[in-house]
């Protein structure tokens, strides 16, 4: 992860010793931490500037809250954080007071003093809050939340309309704040995977509302970076990706495996991109050419036709190849196609009481399947307007720069299956599987501050990563070995078969021999009559797992959110209750406390 430049006022206002102390304080903070610190310092400065005696802490809090916008975000994949940071930058550029906080860093006792609050939050899976917002969500929706008659607020909710609980977390927070007496500053935004179409107007509304409600602040001092920005920040971003050379594209599952899992190595040389173990690599994919051909043929459209949309003109084939989603359906597209196809059956699936059937449709079918099952006429312009924009895919990085230098490694499951004799693919996994070594692929780094190794290398770590969920833990073990961390490393890994699906088997065995990995528990689900999963191995080792946690260990889980992560969470609750002698409620509080301490982190998808 790139270093964040520390800030200080001109030397004439601080002693050299104070400058050094300030640099030490700010050097380890991420963007959200720096935003919080700036708001805190501004509040202190205003309190010192008053001519009367220094006011009470409550008075300072109320004065500060009235003159600034607080932005709180909860993010699983980085989209909510990106939008919250965008709003914070625009509000600050307008000369207005602002502080930006990740939800798990927000002190909920401050809520009663807030006057202007913007919340940007995603919904995960079937109506769950992101991991970093669980405590924040539970507090606001719980009995301890205070009445908030003086609060003005707005919520930007992010979600995926393919799930029944679309934007449920944002909606529930919006409704709950209104129940507590707060007033909606402006309307909630509910953003689908086509995020910017809703998010950009919402951010603009927030900026306008802030300009009307908050008075511009005179700068307290000119700030200058202690370390030059150019040395720390790459010019390559999500919107300006780096073309990374593909160094290795190797299948690492055996011949008998039903899975095609690839080990990918990409060169970041010359990019200025930096990452830490636990971060993700974003890939901008291109749709499978055969799938683009199938859509054009089914709708009898000309791929060479020039189409102008959102002030951009491209051939239709280019739009479908690199600008529009073809492997993921969305509720708005299904509704629009139902009208084009004049299909009562498809319209019926959109009804609230058919949510189970609709969810199955979204999970099992792609755009081409819908077009073929329910024929309807589309013009090229209508199609491009109705399909949602192609989004980048994020992959947990399976390496540590201390071990591999200017490279990033990935562990990717190539999605490929048949429907009615036709092959279907996952967009990014197929893009990577098709890529030849030497090709250049557009990439960027997505930092994940929630999924970090403990700063204290003497702490033990428990790593739970079945399937491709093992990827970040390869980087974790590399990092711990490179830094000489004294804590123990315990890995739980699972997959269907040991013979064909034991990912990085030789590396783990070598790590055990070298003492870089201290314990390895395996769950190969189909190598015996009854299926065994990582959650089963956790329960079997329950007493030792709880002992490690009581000794200060950090626990990490990576992989499938809908089933594996839920089952592992249940297993952990059972372990804590059984071996800690706790009630179900106390076990839940114990796990929530681990999460609040940063000792229980999940990277789930």
Please list, residue by residue across 531-566, b when 16 or more beta carbons sit within 10 angstroms of its beta carbon and e when fewer do: ebbbbbbbeebbebbbebbeeebbbbbbbbbeebbb
Q: Which residue has the higher pLDDT, 356 or 220?
A: 356
pLDDT exceeds cutoff 60 at 54: no
Question: Which CATH number covers residue 293?
Answer: 1.20.990.10
Query: Average pLDDT in the 82-90 region?
Result: 96
Spatial distance between the Cα atoms of 287 and 430, rounded to a whole number of angstroms:
8
Query: Average pLDDT in the 566-595 region?
Result: 96
pLDDT for position 193: 84
Give backbone dihedrals phi and psi of 427, rounded to 5 degrees, phi first. -60, -60
Question: Which CATH number covers residue 247?
Answer: 2.40.30.10
pLDDT tens figures, 295-337: 999 999 999 999 999 999 999 999 999 999 999 999 999 999 9
pLDDT exceeds cutoff 80 at 515: yes
Residues sharing a CB contact under 8 Å with residue 65, sequence separation 6 or more, in sequence order = 110, 113, 114, 115, 116
Q: Provide the domain count of the chain.
A: 4
Residues 58 and 206 in one domain: yes
Residues 201 and 266 in one domain: no
pLDDT for position 504: 98
pLDDT for position 163: 81
- Residue 535, domain member (yes or no): yes
Question: In the predicted model, what is the mean pLDDT of the chain?
Answer: 89
pLDDT for position 424: 95
- Residue 229, domain member (yes or no): no
- Residue 2, domain member (yes or no): no
pLDDT exceeds cutoff 70 at 556: yes
Residues 569 and 469 in one domain: yes
Pair 173, 155: CB distance under 8 Å: yes
SS3 104: helix
pLDDT for position 35: 55
Residues 248 and 338 in one domain: no
Of 99-113, 222-236, 578-592, where does mean pLDDT reach its minimum? 222-236
Residue % of the chain over a pLDDT of 70: 86
Spatial distance between the Cα atoms of 181 and 171, rounded to a whole number of angstroms:
16
The pair of three-digit structure tokens given for residue 88, joined into one six-digit string: 């914070």
Question: Which CATH number covers residue 52?
Answer: 3.40.50.360
Residues 98 and 146 in one domain: yes
Task: Indicate the pTM of the whole model.
Answer: 0.84
3-state helix, strand, coil in the chain (%, to 5): 45, 20, 35
Domain of residue 522, residue span: 461-604
Residues 507 and 583 in one domain: yes
pLDDT exceeds cutoff 70 at 53: no
Residues 194 and 257 in one domain: no
The pair of three-digit structure tokens given for residue 381, joined into one six-digit string: 């312009």
Domain boundary among 336, 369, 386: 386
Residues 295 and 255 in one domain: no
The pair of three-digit structure tokens given for residue 489, joined into one six-digit string: 């490393």
Question: Which CATH number covers residue 479?
Answer: 3.40.50.80
Residues 293 and 398 in one domain: no
- Residue 225, domain member (yes or no): no
pLDDT exceeds cutoff 70 at 18: no
Residues 295 and 415 in one domain: no
Domain boundary among 341, 360, 386: 386
Residues 313 and 295 in one domain: yes
Residues sharing a CB contact under 8 Å with residue 466, sequence separation 6 or more, in sequence order = 492, 493, 494, 495, 523, 533, 534, 559, 560, 564
pLDDT for position 19: 47
SS3 402: helix
- Residue 63, domain member (yes or no): yes
Residues 573 and 560 in one domain: yes
- Residue 223, domain member (yes or no): no
Band (179; pLDDT cuts 50, 70, 90): very high
- Residue 221, domain member (yes or no): no
Of 54-63, 144-153, 301-310, 377-386, where does mean pLDDT reach its minimum? 54-63
- Residue 452, domain member (yes or no): no
């Amino acid at each position: 992860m790139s270093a964040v430049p520390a800030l200080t006022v001109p030397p004439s206002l601080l002693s050299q010793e104070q400058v050094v102390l300030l640099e030490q304080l700010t050097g380890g903070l991420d963007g959200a931490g720096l935003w919080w610190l700036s708001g805190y310092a501004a509040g202190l400065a205003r309190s010192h500037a008053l001519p009367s005696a220094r006011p009470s802490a409550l008075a300072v809090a109320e004065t500060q809250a009235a003159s600034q916008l607080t932005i709180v975000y909860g993010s699983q994949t980085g989209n909510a954080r990106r939008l919250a940071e965008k709003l914070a930058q625009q509000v600050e550029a307008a000369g207005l007071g602002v502080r930006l906080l990740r939800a798990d860093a927000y002190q909920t006792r401050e809520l009663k003093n807030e006057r202007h609050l913007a919340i940007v939050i995603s919904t995960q899976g079937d109506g769950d809050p992101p991991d970093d917002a669980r405590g924040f969500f539970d507090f606001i929706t719980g009995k301890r939340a205070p009445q908030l008659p003086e609060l003005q607020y707005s919520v930007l909710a992010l979600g995926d309309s393919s799930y029944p609980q679309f934007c449920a977390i944002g909606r529930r927070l919006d409704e709950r704040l209104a129940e507590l007496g707060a007033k909606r500053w402006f309307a909630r935004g509910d953003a689908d995977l086509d995020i910017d179409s809703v998010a950009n107007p919402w951010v603009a509304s927030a900026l306008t509302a802030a300009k009307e409600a908050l008075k511009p602040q005179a700068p307290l001092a000119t700030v200058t970076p202690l370390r030059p920005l150019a040395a720390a920040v790459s010019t390559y971003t999500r919107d300006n990706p780096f073309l990374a050379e593909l160094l290795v594209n190797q299948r690492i599952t055996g011949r008998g495996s039903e899975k095609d899992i690839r080990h990918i190595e990409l060169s970041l040389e010359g990019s200025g991109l930096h990452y830490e173990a636990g971060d993700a690599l974003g890939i901008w994919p291109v749709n499978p050419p055969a799938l683009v051909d199938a859509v054009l043929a089914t709708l009898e459209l000309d791929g060479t036709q020039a189409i102008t949309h959102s002030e951009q003109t491209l051939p239709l084939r280019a739009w479908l190849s690199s600008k529009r989603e073809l492997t993921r359906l969305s509720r708005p597209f299904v509704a629009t196609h139902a009208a084009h196809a004049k299909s009562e059956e498809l319209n019926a699936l959109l009804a609230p009481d058919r949510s189970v059937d609709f969810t199955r449709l979204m999970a099992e079918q792609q755009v081409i399947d819908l077009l073929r099952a329910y024929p309807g006429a589309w013009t090229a312009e209508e199609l491009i307007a109705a399909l949602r924009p192609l989004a980048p895919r994020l992959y947990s990085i399976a390496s540590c720069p201390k071990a591999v230098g200017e490279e990033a490694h990935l562990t990717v499951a190539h999605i490929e299956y048949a429907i009615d004799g036709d092959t279907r693919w996952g967009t990014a996994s197929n893009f990577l599987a098709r890529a030849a070594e030497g090709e250049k692929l557009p990439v960027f780094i997505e930092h994940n501050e929630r999924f970090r190794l403990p700063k204290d290398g003497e702490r033990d770590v428990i790593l739970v990563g079945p399937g491709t969920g093992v990827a970040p833990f390869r980087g974790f073990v590399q990092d711990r070995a490179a830094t000489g961390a004294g804590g123990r490393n315990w890995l739980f890994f699972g997959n269907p078969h040991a013979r064909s699906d034991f990912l990085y088997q030789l590396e783990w065995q070598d790590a055990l021999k070298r003492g870089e990995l201290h314990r390895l528990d395996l769950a190969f689900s189909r190598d015996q009559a009854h299926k065994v999963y990582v959650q089963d191995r956790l329960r079997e080792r329950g007493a030792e797992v709880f002992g490690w946690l009581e000794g200060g260990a950090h626990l990490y889980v990576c992989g499938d959110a809908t089933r594996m992560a839920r089952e592992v969470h249940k297993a952990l609750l059972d372990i804590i209750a059984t071996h800690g002698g706790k009630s179900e409620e106390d076990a839940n509080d114990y796990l929530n406390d681990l999460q609040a301490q940063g000792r229980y982190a999940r990277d789930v998808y």
